[in-house]
A = this chain, B = another copy of it.
Amino acid sequence: MTPAQTPAQPLLIVGSIAFDDLDMPTPDGIRPHRDVLGGAATYSSLAAAQLTRGGVRVVGIVGTDFPEAHLEGLRSRGIDTAGVERAQGKTFRWHGRYSSDLSSRTSLDTQLNVFADFSPKIPAAYRNSPFVLLGNIHPKLQVDVLDQVQQVQKPRLVVADTMNFWIEGEPAALAKLLARIDLLVINDEEARQLSGIQNLVRAAADIRKRGPSMLIVKRGEFGALLFDEAGTFFVPAYPLEEVLDPTGAGDSFAGGLLGYLAARGEVTPGSLRKALYFASSLGSFCVEGIGPSRLLSLTRAELAARISAFARLVDHGGELALPI
């Protein structure tokens, strides 16, 4: 079987690029990690680049304090950073502290800095991207990105993330966004908040009526659910012996998803279901290191081994026939 029926297609990723200050629990107390490369666009593009040969295009904003070496690191992995704007001022900075079991985190400080005035400008050369991932920014800006891209052509697949802040504070802008995207990727709490429905199956049906024909509900260490025209699909999270840092796992998941689809060049219920395994794999690698370190060290052989292990994790050996 040759999975790549069509050549890899360009993938546009728009989102935050940041410095994260992470307070991580260890058996000996909190260990601080400072100035860690972060941001949704960073994690998503690093994950996507594992699955494509080039074609990942990033749009984001950094300050004058952002080391060129970080951008060079992205470029060395085939990520096009021509869309990363460098503005006067400081880079977006987030300071978070995780609970001892890593199941929750507290934001100690959020300095938007240059990200406060981020108004994504999509380079002309990016506007033909058939695959678009709109990271979690103001839904008005997400729509604005789509307006710029659609001046050239309608993308093959538009995927968006959002968060409780916009669901609560910008319902009208979010409604406009939902009407224009194909796939929404959110977590279970956000799905419940957005729909006002506790049950996820019914919440998903409600959200899909608002625009996106496909919905993915992420559940962290409990995997993710896809709802689309072909029905409901479930992908587990990979059971790991050690989780070091959950930061960026959801963004790596989205990047892995889009990277696989762009590499395959097709979006079908079948390719989407396979893509979810790559999404979950990239998410699982992400949490194995502090910040994006594991994504940066990841090899093709390690990824292939994880995907094989994933296949064994869910292989029930064919037909599930009633025993009587």
Contact = CB atoms under 8 A, between A and B. Distances in A.
Interface of A: 1, 3-4, 8, 51-53, 101, 198-202, 219, 222-223, 225, 231-236, 239-243, 259-260, 263-264, 270, 273-274, 276-278, 300, 303-304, 307-324
Contacts of A202: 241
B263 A1 contact: no
B317 A270 contact: yes
Given A234-B236, A234-B239, A239-B200, A310 B314 contact: no
Contacts of A219: 222
Which of A202, A260, A274, A309 has the most CB atoms of chain B within a 10 A radius of its CB? A274
Nearest to A225: B239
A309 B223 CA distance: 18
Assembly stoichiometry (copies): 2
A-B pairs, top 9 by smallest CB distance, nearest first, are A263-B323, A222-B222, A234-B236, A201-B241, A3-B321, A273-B316, A270-B317, A307-B320, A201-B239
Given A200-B239, A232-B239, A274-B317, 4 more contacts: A199-B242, A222-B222, A233-B313, A311-B320
A195 to B, nearest CB: 13
Contact of A236 (B101, B223, B308): B223
A315 B273 CA distance: 8
